[in-house]
Structure 1
Amino acid sequence: GFFKYRVDFEALENLPALKEGRIGAICCSRPTNPTGNVLTDEEMNHLAEIAKRYDVPLIIDNAYGMPFPNIIYSDAHLNWDDNTILCFSLSKIGLPGVRTGIIVADAKVIAAVSAMNAVVNLAPTRFGAAIATPLVENDRIKQLSDNEVKPFYQQQAKLAVKLLKEALGNYPLVIHKPEGAIFFWLWFKDLPITTLELYERLKEKGTLIVPSKYFFPGVDVSDYQHAHECIRMSIAADEQTLTDGIKVIGDVVRELYDEAKK
């Protein structure tokens, strides 16, 4: 009932643009939005090796990852070297409206980003930094992440899997292995309609999801069926809202498959 996306290293290393020096950086999110995928330590080490070989930085979006908010359930470790740029955020630990970005990088990169911010953000907000500073100083931010934030989402993930299997256990639903973040990625194999149309039907019943076609940038999805069979579903709501939403998804999707069989 689960699947997992993996890095296609053969395709990556055979990109003409990479070999010709026309790629300026390698970027990834860990965990990812929308799938909740966590690249393995082996995959991260391989990406770091390729980035060093071609003298480009490896930029890692760590907004959902370690050490805060630590919404990550797989066995993963956080590594850094002077060719890596780690990006963190306080937006997933209670400060979504006052996003404070944090990077760990080589001193030259820090200086460049600081100079850029001085131009781009003439009056940057200080609320996030002001609120977070004492939490960082006494390590409370790590305690909140480990003892409050992570367990909440881990429980939500377990509940979502249970509810989805109850609602669609005998139907062609495959769940991307939930390894972190605050979303589920659901794949309805051979869905009779596109998930853009499914979005409209669910919205009419008061349930919102995001159709998959918007998550394949740079890919021609006109003949790529998979890109029209998936949805992103949030697990951040309270238990009752999650239960009600999955019930609606189950009712609508079952009806679609049942009608297609007639």
Structure 2
Amino acid sequence: MKTTNAYLSKTVNELKPSGIRRFFDLASGMEGVISLGVGEPDFVTPWTVREAAILSLEQGYTSYTANAGLLELRQEIAAYMAREFQVAYQPDSEIIVTVGASQAIDIAFRSILDPGDEVIVVEPCFVSYSPLVSLAGGTPVHVQAETEQEFKISPKKLESAITSKTKAIMICSPNNPTGTMLNKEELQKIAEIAERYDLLVISDEIYAELVYDEVYTSMAAINGMKERTILISGFSKGFAMTGWRLGFVCAPKEITAAMLKVHQYGIMCAPIMAQYAGLEAMRNGQDEVEEMRKSYRRRRNYMVSSLNELGLSCHSPGGAFYVFPSIQTTGLTSDQFAEQLLMEEKVAVVPGSVFGESGEGYIRCSYATSIEQLQEAIKRIRRFLEKQTS
């Protein structure tokens, strides 16, 4: 008989486990840890949204929905995208409700990639992008953002990575882990490259509701880009609905039809109770979203100023709920800094290296926790840094 490993897919066997999870596992067994590592809102899902899910259960809505999701929810998503982001989608043919934004990214890659196709992945980036490209049979090609330009994409560097095998560009704005948001002019430059080389853009816009200094621009709203953009979004971040696992993907109808095939066979449909909750969130959740956004903005300002005062250079992120300070002055690697900080001061952060090579020398800190916890974390980080120089 073969060894157990011999039965495993070579692609899966070669995938590295998530670097984020390693630090969560270390922190989970320790008492008194302040976690700045979790990419999850610290707010509870608004009551009216929870109530809508409870009511759907009481009314006996426990069946499958259409594969693409409740038509009523897709209509609401279409209205929301038009109202908030000035992009018009047809609810019956250009929107699929998914099990979180992660599943939306997965079916997007599996629907467009053939073996050997390349996807340009701009780093630092969320840990799942490259593995999902590989699992779909494609090849991720990593392009490092400009650290000196607050982790913005260099169009010249992006263009230089394109080959005859390139099929798509993967971007995330606001970005996880850096919080960097691309403005309309910067998106336009990417759009021009995509058009010049006839490429798709997969745009992860899950943090679109959480922006602080500028009006958000969707890639699909750039002139000519709706036809070549697969837009990923959902309810997890802006509406504080991570555990509901509810996302959506918008794309031209031919691509949507292909994604629906993958979705049908792999998932069937998103849970109906979560969909009714999402319906309420989109209809009546904007006031709660705005309050969360204001709170995050205050916390962002505190973290940026505090980290810079400690000598950990940190740009002010335009969105999401992460700061990405440099720890290069300490002489430690990202892994060393994160592990020692956890063990010595019980503050959990994520080493920047897990988000790609250009993340080395940085750490990701989530400010999706109370200001009191953030203040205590800063005290502990200060103490840790003082020990490094003593």
Q: In which range does the TM-score fall when normalised by the shorter chain?
A: 0.7 to 0.9
230, 238, 245: which one pairs with 2:370? 238
Aligned mate of 2:288, from 144, 148, 152: 144
CA distance in 2, matches of 1:144, 1:50: 38
Distance 2:242 2:265 in 1: 23
SS of 1:117's equivalent in the other structure is helix
Q: 1:3, 1:177 within 8 Å by CA — same for their partners in 2?
A: no
Instruction: Give the corresponding residue for 2:355.
Output: 215
Structure 2 gap segments, 5+ residues each: 1-147, 221-225
Which residue does the alignment assign to 1:102?
248
CA distance in 2, matches of 1:44, 1:123: 32
Structure 2 SS opposite 1:174:
coil
1:125 to partner: Cα distance: 2.4
Aligned: 1:115 with 2:254: no
1:11 is the counterpart of 2:157:
yes
| Contact 1:3–1:176 under 8 Å retained in 2 | no
CA shift at 1:126, angstroms? 2.7
CA offset at residue 8 of structure 1?
1.7
Q: Residue 341 of structure 2: SS of its match in structure 1?
A: helix
2:230 to 48, 66, 85: 85
Residues 34 and 184 in structure 1, CA contact (< 8 A), matched pair in contact too: yes
The one-character-per-residue Cα deviations of 1:106-125 (angstroms, maximum 9, x if unpaired) are 11122122221111114642
Distance 1:162 1:12, change over 3 A: closer
Are residue 193 (structure 1) and residue 332 (structure 2) matched? yes
Q: How far off is 1:183 after superposition?
A: 0.9
Q: Which runs of 5+ in 1 are unaligned?
A: 220-225
Counterpart of 1:162 in 2: which secondary structure? helix
Letter of the structure 1 residue corresponding to residue 279 of structure 2: T
CA gap of 1:239–1:141, structure 2 versus 1, over 3 A, is same
Q: Distance in 1 between matches of 2:386 and 2:326?
A: 14
1:206 aligns with 2:346: yes
TM-score by length of 2: 0.57
Look up the match of 1:128: 274
Task: Write the letter of the residue equivalent to 2:354.
Answer: Y
1 or 2 for the larger relative contact order (CA 8 Å, sep ≥6)? 2
Aligned residues of 1:26 and 1:59 also touching (Cα < 8 A): yes
Structure 1 distance, partners of 2:336, 2:261, is: 45
Compare 31-40 and 51-60 and name the one that shifted more: 51-60
- Cα distance change on mapping 1:161 and 1:19 into 2, 3 Å: closer
Paired amino acid for 1:58: V
What TM-score comes out, normalization by structure 1 length?
Answer: 0.83
What amino acid is aligned across from residue 113 of structure 1 in structure 2?
Answer: M
State whether residues 60 and 86 of structure 1, in contact with CA within 8 Å, keep that contact through their aligned partners in structure 2: yes
What amino acid does structure 1 have at the position aligned with 2:336?
A: E
**Identical aligned residues as a percent:** 25
How far apart, CA to CA, are the structure 1 residues paired with 2:285 and 2:178?
25
Deviations 1:41-97 (A, max 9, x none): 1121111121122222111100111xxxx1112324225221112111111122111
Which residue matches 1:223? Answer: none
**Contact 1:212–1:229 (8 Å) recurs in 2:** yes
State the alpha-carbon separation in 2 of the partners of residues 196 and 28 from structure 1: 25
Map of 1:43-82 to 2, 5 A cutoff?
A: 43-65=186-208, 70-75=209-214, 76-80=216-220, 81-82=226-227
Partners of 1:206 and 1:4 in 2: how far apart? 28
**1:3: Cα distance to partner?**
5.9
Aligned residues: 235
